[in-house]
Amino acid sequence: MKKNLGILGLLVVVCAFTAWNSPAFLKPTNIEQLMHRTSLFGLISLGAAFVIMSGGIDLSIGSVIGLTGSLLPWLLVQHGWSVPAAVSTVLLVTLGIGLSHGLLITKLKIQPFIVTLCGLLLYRGLARWITEDSNQRFGGDYATLKWFAKGKLDLGLGMQIPVPAVLFLVAALFSWILLNRTVWGRHLLALGRNEQAARFSGIATDRLVILAYVLCACLAGAGGMLFALDQNTVQPSAHGNFYELYAIAAAVLGGCSLRGGEGSIVGVAIGAALLRVLYNAIVLAGIPSQLDFAIIGLVILGGVIADELVKRLAVQRRLQAARKAQ
């Protein structure tokens, strides 16, 4: 809870400073666009969070987005598949990706870093090979499908909520219930804290790891399709590049420890929002786009350093209190 308040406070400060520096920040169109982009990145961040909480890492998220984002228009436009068939096939591909990651990590005991790093290269290469490295376009068709990525719901207050924001809220609520109101969630955190102890306690650790990677891949696949529908044109060599870094950064900023065993769905959502607000602040301030990654990286590093210092201070206070009690 304290971590959530800290990152929320940082988000409020950044929003206030940006609004003061640029009045355009508070325009309804800008707020809607922020909600839209935050939701898309937040969706893939939820998957990254589950993997990180289990004590693992997934570096292939961006390439999964690239593969699924390329496959959808390739199947629909190039091969004339129906929408249900194409979407179902893409989701089955992501399910297979997550399952293969989990099996390689649990059964062959290969490090998650190596498995997903190989996946990062493999899926990007497959996307480029399948599409012959040519741009994939939806054109002006598939309006119903595009509604899920570009549609808006009118609130009647002069502002509209993007449909992806609703999808993200549903996914976040489901994730929160899964993590905080089920035995699976408690076991996942126990696995992240100490895998050996969790196994000795009778927890099916292999199943938990496999499920975490399946959830991550499926959310990345859903995100990949939404990103593709939003952009309307997909470049297989670039679609989703570096998105795994955004997802991991949002999870870490939101309180997920890279050591595993810690995490908050609310924190992840706030972390995703903070990253998009920072990017928006950079654009509105007229800062050269070449510095985007540098500034965001510095802010993330500062947040992680601050979090670590707060942790150490808390440990010192607990030790002092224990000594006084003795």
pLDDT (tens digit per residue) in 148-203? 999 988 876 667 899 999 999 999 999 999 999 999 999 999 999 888 898 888 88
pLDDT at 262: 86
- Total of domains in the chain: 1
Within a domain: 19: no
Within a domain: 112: yes
| pLDDT(252) > 90 | no
> Among 94-103, 166-175, 295-304, 309-318, which stretch is predicted with the lowest mean pLDDT?
295-304
Within a domain: 178: yes
Label residue 57 by pLDDT band (50, 70, 90). very high
pLDDT at 301: 79
For residue 40, give the nearest of 203, 213, 227 by alpha carbon.
227
> Among 6-15, 90-99, 122-131, which stretch is predicted with the lowest mean pLDDT?
6-15
* pLDDT greater at residue 229 or residue 311: 229
Determine the structural domain holding residue 244 and report its residue range: 45-249+256-262
* pLDDT greater at residue 8 or residue 105: 105
Tens-digit pLDDT profile for residues 233-243: 999 999 999 89
- The identity of residue 155, as a single letter, is L
Mean pLDDT for the chain?
89
pLDDT at 307: 67
Element housing 153 (H / E): strand 152-154
Alpha helices in the chain (DSSP H): 2-21, 28-53, 61-73, 83-106, 112-130, 143-150, 163-180, 183-193, 195-200, 205-231, 243-253, 265-284, 292-325
Find out whether 11 and 270 touch, Cβ atoms under 8 Å. yes
In angstroms, the CA 18 to CA 23 distance is 8
Find out whether 93 and 248 touch, Cβ atoms under 8 Å. no
Within a domain: 151: yes
* pLDDT greater at residue 94 or residue 196: 94
Within a domain: 165: yes
pTM: 0.91
Within a domain: 82: yes
Within a domain: 286: no
Within a domain: 17: no
